[in-house]
Amino acid sequence: MTRVALAFSGGLDTTVCVPLLEEEWGYDEVVGVTVDVGQPEAEFAEAEETADALGLEHHVVDARAEFASMCLDSVRANATYQGYPLGTALARPVIAESILDVAKENDCDAVAHGCTGKGNDQLRFEAVWRASELDVVAPVRELGLTREWEIEYADEKELPVEGGNEGVWSIDTNLWSRSVEGGDLEHPGHVPGEEIYEWTRSPAGDTEEVELTFENGYPVAVDGEEMDPIGLIAHLNDVAGEYGVGRTDMMEDRMLGLKVRENYEHPAATTLLNAHETLESLVLTKEERDFKKLVDDEWSQKGYEGLVDAPLMSALEAFIEATQTRVTGTVTIRFEGGQARPVGRDSDHAVYDESFASFNTEDVGDITQADATGVAKYHGFQERLAAKVLAEAKETEALTDGAGAE
């Protein structure tokens, strides 16, 4: 008997994949796997109901703790892609690993997903799966299916597919972010209404401040109350979302070269990333910050690609770990006007001394204001010399041209 483990959500794509895997690929049995990375409870109920209606063996794997840990690792790397936090991207390797574990435990011959050939997720799933000995199947991509075809096929087969917003938008939700795409949102000029948002309210005039505590670059408490990663992220999603924090409407460049319209909500992610970068600005030297930006950019790119286990990531993590030993302290964030704005920061590791920086203090130690005179004389010296040489050259050229004209 041949078996295939299918990444199963109970939505249109994965539901039509069940009979297709049996009819077109000849698998005797399909095993559905739903991985919990923080989706709404309604999605699990839908997946369970659909699996029951299909007579599908169904497994639910709780991977929230692992995913939350990865999200907080991304905070230490200040990870964003083209300006938005990596939610869907970081979730996919976690989901793929969980599905692979189930596949191996249940003697499956293959793993399958319902991704199209136009998105990023197919690459993120398969980067994990193709390192195994199992076959990889992608029915929607390999058969070139369209959404309209899937709807007609589901009707013909009388498959238990819910309507809802799936016919309008494609929505992906996890602990770290909520993405909305499709329908009118595919038109760059379309202005979406408030109905596409669930996590965030339209920004108003209210404000609120929270104090975030970090230890070694990881957020550990809100207003002095220690929280586990899952609880901390969920709490900040609720609080920051009330002030409209964390909305992104963008044209995103996918890995396959396509440019797509994407809408995201990520209140907690925005809040934590802003706070973490603020604390780093207090405790790291300029050279560390400049170089870490290069490291963070590389980490973000690999994270976006779903290549979180790449050898390069281990090297990048080693540098990040070395810098984060001093990223311990507190940051006060003010929520207002759709922003999570840092308004205060404190750390015992601050590379800052008020007595040196203040305009209201006299000379300190062996450093005096007069010492800056020599620096000022040398600062810009080459530029001034270059300008002088250029001016002399132009003057000589002008004299030569004038003599020639005579």
pLDDT digits (tens, 9 = 90+) for 38-82: 999 999 999 999 999 999 999 999 999 999 999 999 999 999 999
pLDDT at residue 161 in the model: 81
Q: Report the CATH number of the 178-354 domain.
A: 3.90.1260.10
Q: Give pLDDT, residue 404.
A: 64
CA–CA–CA angle 146, 151, 152 (5° rounding): 100
Task: Name 127's Cβ contacts closer than 8 Å, sequence gap at least 6.
Answer: 93, 96, 305, 306, 307
Can you give the pTM of this predicted structure? 0.91
DSSP state of 308: T
Q: What is the CATH number of domain 3-168?
A: 3.40.50.620
The model's pLDDT over 151-172, given as tens digits with 9 standing for 90+, comes to: 999 999 999 986 434 457 888 9
Distance CA 280, CA 274 (A): 10
- On whether the CB atoms of residues 106 and 31 are closer than 8 A, the answer is yes
| Average pLDDT, integer, range 73-96 | 97
Secondary structure (H, E, C), 230-285: HHHHHHHHHHHHCCCCCEEEEEEECCCCCEEEEEEECHHHHHHHHHHHHHHHHHCC
- Asked whether the predicted pLDDT for residue 405 surpasses 80, the reply is no
Output the average pLDDT for the chain: 93
Question: Domain spans of the chain?
Answer: 3-168, 178-354, 360-405
- What is the predicted pLDDT for the residue at 370? 84
DSSP type of residue 202: P
Annotated catalytic residues are: 13, 92, 121, 170
pLDDT over 90 for what percent of the chain?
84
Query: Cβ(196)–Cβ(180) under 8 Å?
Result: yes
Least confident of 218-227, 257-266, 297-306, 351-360: 351-360
Q: What is the pLDDT of residue 112?
A: 98
Task: Give 162 or 36, the one with higher predicted confidence.
Answer: 36
- State how far the Cα of 341 lies from the Cα of 337, in Å rounded to an integer: 10
> What is the reported pLDDT for 19?
96
- Alpha helix locations (H) across 55-190? 64-76, 88-105, 121-129, 139-142, 147-157
Q: Which of 148-152, 192-196, 330-334 is the most confident on average?
A: 330-334
